[in-house]
Amino acid sequence: MRVDYEDLNKTLDALTEGETDEIALMATLACEIHHSDARFDWTGFYRVTEPEILKIGPYQGGHGCLKIPFSRGVCGAAARIGETQLVADVEAFPGHIACSTSTRSELVVPVCNGAGAVIGVFDIDSNQPEAFTQEDADQMERLLTRIFARL
């Protein structure tokens, strides 16, 4: 099963209409997106909770890392430079943090509020190598920008 982005966007718009609570939005998106595609092995948010630190937020899947500094890993890179990280092979990513040994590829999108401040990252892991495409990255960027712009 592959995600149908048009349907996913419609569903998320209906589920989150009028919602402005950051955690409620994250929990709803993590659940809905996780179950939309068989490639998605771990799906969730890491939140900026103090300077240069991400802490685990709402997610679906096995355990995640509890704390990630901006200086380490794929999630840290996305938060640090404010750019989506599309990683075909996590073993080839310098400083990759193995929160799960089954992760082979990863897509991490910075999440910004309406003022443009990074409030976290959205992380999708797959147990398949090269699981994600540029279309996945572009679609997730648009979806997250639209939903979190209301904060």
Helix axes 134-148, 5-16, angle to 10 degrees: 20
Query: How confident is the model at residue 3, as a pLDDT?
Result: 97
pTM over 0.85: yes
Q: What is the mean pLDDT of residues 46-64?
A: 97
Q: What is the mean pLDDT of residues 45-50?
A: 98
Residue corresponding to tokens 């309406």: 114
Identify the band that residue 9 occupies on the pLDDT scale cut at 50, 70 and 90. Answer: very high
Is the CB of residue 52 less than 8 Å from the CB of residue 68? no
Residue type, position 63, single letter: H
Is the CB of residue 85 less than 8 Å from the CB of residue 110? no
The Cα 142–Cα 102 span in angstroms is: 28
Is the CB of residue 114 less than 8 Å from the CB of residue 151? yes
Sheet holding 105-112, edge to edge: 67-69, 53-60, 42-50, 118-126, 105-112, 85-87
Is the CB of residue 75 less than 8 Å from the CB of residue 46? yes
The Cα 6–Cα 135 span in angstroms is: 13
Q: What is the mean pLDDT of residues 13-37?
A: 98
Q: Please name the residues in contact with 126: beta carbons below 8 A apart, sequence gap of 6 or more.
A: 39, 40, 41, 103, 104, 105, 106, 132
Residues paired with 44 in a beta bridge: 59, 123
Domain boundaries, the chain: 5-11+22-148
Structure tokens, 108: 């991490």
Query: How confident is the model at residue 95, as a pLDDT?
Result: 86
> Is CATH 3.30.365.10 the classification given to domain 5-11+22-148?
no
